[in-house]
Structure 1
Amino acid sequence: MKPNGSTSKLTYLKCIVDGVEIKRCRQTYQSYKPHVHNELSIGYIEEGSTHVEFGGDTLSFVKGDGIVIPPLTSHCCSPTDIRQWQFVMLYIEPRYYEGSVRFDQVMKLSGDSLRQVTAFVHLLETEEDKGTLESRLIELLVELGEPIAGETHPGEEDHQAERVMEIRNWLVDRYQENWTLETLENTFGLSRFAIIRQFKRRFHTTPRAFQLQVKVAASKKLLAEGVEPFEIMERVGFYDQAHFIREFKKMSGVTPKGYLQSL
């Protein structure tokens, strides 16, 4: 049953990252019966409240709550009022994390974990660089999932830490280049999960974010030397002018033009 004058809507958005899909639902039931998804489901409620039944248990969720549902977990959502019901859900194929982290139970999300989910959804809808999205996806899965016991052997942590330092130096030397997590895996012999986890542990950021920081630092130096912004964009390796301006402002607080004026 839909309310009179309803603006009910159910949309699916395929992302440029293969195997990741966004669903937006407003004022409509997706399913009346228990069902499963083959993918990992991560989402949050934008309006209203619901009860989620799974395995004989029930959890209540309200506006601002997030949820994680493991693959093939039978569940059923019962919105309190369909007229005030809106949520966003991510579907992520398990191949992105199998063997590295696990998701065993339905979880409620809040705080920083939820902020990372909402930020990632926004990024999926605005970012055009596939490598950036894949890095952020792995970072999110590392944050939300549980490490698989026995992933590393004695002495392996030290080995991984050494390799991560090599990755950092490699990124500094090649900050203009485009690369993928697969490139780093093949070059340094670590899984992408180990790379993200160890890099964050040591440098408090991800390889992709670190590369952008190096790009912006190089851009500031070139601007101060009088190099034209368009030439800097190509020399440093930003894929277009909008990307250059956006990342520069994020890290410097001003646009490249504003930075030049401040000099």
Structure 2
Amino acid sequence: MNPSVSSSTLTYHKSILDGVEIKRCRQTYQSYKPHVHNELSIGYIEEGSTQVDLERETIPFRTGDGIVIPPLTSHCCSPTDIRQWQFVMLYIEPRYYESSVRFDQVMKLCGDPLRQVTDFIRLLETEEDQDILESRLIELLVEFGEPLTGDTYPSDEGRQAERIMEIRDWLVHRYQENWTLEMLEDTFGLNRFTIIRQFKRRFHTTPRAFQLQLKVAASKKLLAEGVEPFEIMERVGFYDQAHFIREFKKMNGVTPKGYLQSR
């Protein structure tokens, strides 16, 4: 193989989340000898195909496939054609999650899990609200990681279920307010991983997504009552008009204006 590719690029940049780094690689042979990372690696192939050689197996990957590689897992990639080779990878320091979830094996991602990764990476490069990013990252880690034994003691199940219901009720009555995962931890006595995992298990959504659903439902009701859109945004807590329109359309199939015109 000829490593001299004139258009090859390799970039790293830190995100606004402490302990999270993004790597973008295009047409380069960087790190194709067996190696390990201290961080958890989560990413996907944008173009091309490769073999990922592990200690005991080789797994083929192609355009659109995602991967999760636990920390300190020896691996190497062998791209089929370096001229058609491009991928994106997140590196997440274990201190971020190691008290709540663990990662024991390499995973191949496709379908909805892959979409969660690609959506999060796009969000990570555009969103400036650190708490929103942290919530979404924890959703990923909960989705792909295994809970530590201490997080699911049977004696804790009743207490956790009660606290999760309290969190739901709290959100129903305070959906307009800004809050952080740290605030939920302090108020309800559960760690953020447990909150997101147990809330999603019970209600099939996350606290942040549930809050957004409440905001959109309230907005729809206020629109029907004749309240002006800018006043609605202020009342329910949307931070700008584009966000309001985008989320309203996602959940109702039409924009606020389209909803009013259809009535």
- Secondary structure class of the residue paired with 2:68: strand
Deviation larger for 129-138 or 186-195: 129-138
Quote the residue 2:108 is aligned against: 108
Quote the residue 2:217 is aligned against: 217
| Structure 1 residue 13, shift from structure 2 partner | 3.5
Q: Percent identity?
A: 82
Quote the residue 1:194 is aligned against: 194
| Alpha-carbon distance in structure 2 between the residues aligned to 1:7 and 1:229 | 48
| Alpha-carbon distance in structure 2 between the residues aligned to 1:106 and 1:206 | 25
Quote the residue 1:175 is aligned against: 175
Mapped contact 1:2–1:27 kept (Cα < 8 A): no
- Secondary structure class of the residue paired with 1:61: strand
| Structure 1 residue 71, shift from structure 2 partner | 1.4
Q: For residue 229 of structure 1, what is the amino acid of its counterpart? A: P
Asked if 1:11 corresponds to 2:16, the answer is no
Distance verdict in 2 for CA 1:13–1:240, change over 3 Å:
farther
Mapped contact 2:135–2:181 kept (Cα < 8 A): yes
Quote the residue 2:52 is aligned against: 52
After superposition, what is the alpha-carbon deviation per residue over 1:165-185, rounded to whole angstroms, capped at 9, x for unaligned?
000010111111111111111
Deviation larger for 76-85 or 59-68: 59-68
Mapped contact 2:65–2:108 kept (Cα < 8 A): yes
Mapped contact 2:135–2:208 kept (Cα < 8 A): yes
Quote the residue 2:254 is aligned against: 254
Structure 1 vs Structure 2 CA RMSD? 1.7
Structure 1 residue ranges without an equivalent (≥5): none
Q: For residue 59 of structure 1, what is the amino acid of its counterpart? A: I
TM-score when scaled to structure 1? 0.92
Quote the residue 1:145 is aligned against: 145
| Structure 1 residue 235, shift from structure 2 partner | 1.6
| Alpha-carbon distance in structure 2 between the residues aligned to 1:2 and 1:234 | 55
Mapped contact 1:102–1:145 kept (Cα < 8 A): yes
Asked if 1:119 corresponds to 2:119, the answer is yes
After superposition, what is the alpha-carbon deviation per residue over 1:74-105, rounded to whole angstroms, capped at 9, x for unaligned?
32222121011111111112122212111112
Asked if 1:37 corresponds to 2:37, the answer is yes
After superposition, what is the alpha-carbon deviation per residue over 1:97-136, rounded to whole angstroms, capped at 9, x for unaligned?
2121111122222233222212222222333432222111
- Secondary structure class of the residue paired with 1:155: helix
TM-score when scaled to structure 2? 0.92
| Alpha-carbon distance in structure 1 between the residues aligned to 2:244 and 2:95 | 32
| Alpha-carbon distance in structure 2 between the residues aligned to 1:129 and 1:260 | 31
| Alpha-carbon distance in structure 1 between the residues aligned to 2:171 and 2:251 | 18
| Structure 1 residue 216, shift from structure 2 partner | 0.8
| Alpha-carbon distance in structure 2 between the residues aligned to 1:37 and 1:98 | 15
Asked if 1:84 corresponds to 2:84, the answer is yes
- Secondary structure class of the residue paired with 1:114: helix
Q: For residue 4 of structure 2, what is the amino acid of its counterpart? A: K
| Alpha-carbon distance in structure 2 between the residues aligned to 1:150 and 1:16 | 30
Mapped contact 1:96–1:138 kept (Cα < 8 A): no
Distance verdict in 2 for CA 1:93–1:49, change over 3 Å:
same
- Secondary structure class of the residue paired with 2:149: coil
- Secondary structure class of the residue paired with 2:114: helix
Count of paired positions: 261
Q: For residue 2 of structure 1, what is the amino acid of its counterpart? A: S
After superposition, what is the alpha-carbon deviation per residue over 1:16-57, rounded to whole angstroms, capped at 9, x for unaligned?
322222222111122243322221101111221112233354
- Secondary structure class of the residue paired with 1:35: coil
Quote the residue 2:22 is aligned against: 22
- Secondary structure class of the residue paired with 2:125: helix
Deviation larger for 171-180 or 90-99: 90-99
- Secondary structure class of the residue paired with 1:64: coil
Mapped contact 2:9–2:25 kept (Cα < 8 A): yes
- Secondary structure class of the residue paired with 2:151: coil
After superposition, what is the alpha-carbon deviation per residue over 1:169-211, rounded to whole angstroms, capped at 9, x for unaligned?
1011111111111111110000111111111111110000000
Deviation larger for 177-186 or 127-136: 127-136
Mapped contact 2:184–2:192 kept (Cα < 8 A): yes
